Amino acid sequence: MPHHQVFFEDVNEGDEITPLKQKISKKDLVIYAVTASDLYELHYDKDTATAQGFKDVIVHGRLKSALLARAVSDWMGNDGKITKLTCNNRGADFPGDEFTVKGMVTRKSQESRGNLVELDVWGENPEGKKTTFGTAVAALPTKG
């Protein structure tokens, strides 16, 4: 795959990042649960999930946070660095559905810490409802 890189000079406030679309399977939930040691039954046992009012097991919040980070990382390229990421889950997402991460540049600044770009990022369910909200700060390289 060719090297893709976003440079600080090329970013403007209001720019959107490339959306990341990810269909999360029940197998993905099991793999994540084991690797993250997050074995809460809500993520793999449908009876537990329905007893709590959900239609099915739900996607881990930390997995959705990782997808927000991946979207920012994919957008900025290999020479950028995520320096901060926040995530707040406000809705359930379900296996088999496509989870889409979108984002927008809200601020850019040159500081002693580097050439920083702040972003609002979020995840949407297939109906376009935002279920996950976050912010990110990325340090980007310059062309010079």
* b/e map 6-26, b = 16+ CB within 10 Å: bbbeebeeebebeebebebeb
- Whether residue 19 lies inside any domain: the answer is yes
Query: Per the structure, how many domains does the chain have?
Result: 1
Rounded to two decimals, the pTM is 0.93
- Whether residue 39 lies inside any domain: the answer is yes
- Whether residue 14 lies inside any domain: the answer is yes
Model pLDDT, residue 66: 95
pLDDT 10s digits, 3-53:
689 999 999 999 999 999 999 999 999 999 999 998 899 998 999 999 999
Q: Please name which of 86, 132, 119, 84 lies closest in space to residue 6, comparing C-alpha atoms.
A: 119
- Whether residue 127 lies inside any domain: the answer is yes
**Residue 122, domain CATH:** 3.10.129.10
pLDDT 10s digits, 80-138:
999 999 999 999 999 999 999 999 999 999 988 899 999 999 999 999 999 999 999 99
- Whether residue 144 lies inside any domain: the answer is no
- Whether residue 2 lies inside any domain: the answer is no
- Whether residue 59 lies inside any domain: the answer is yes
pLDDT 10s digits, 33-46:
999 998 899 998 99
Model pLDDT, residue 86: 97
The parent domain of residue 25 ranges over 8-139
- Whether residue 27 lies inside any domain: the answer is yes
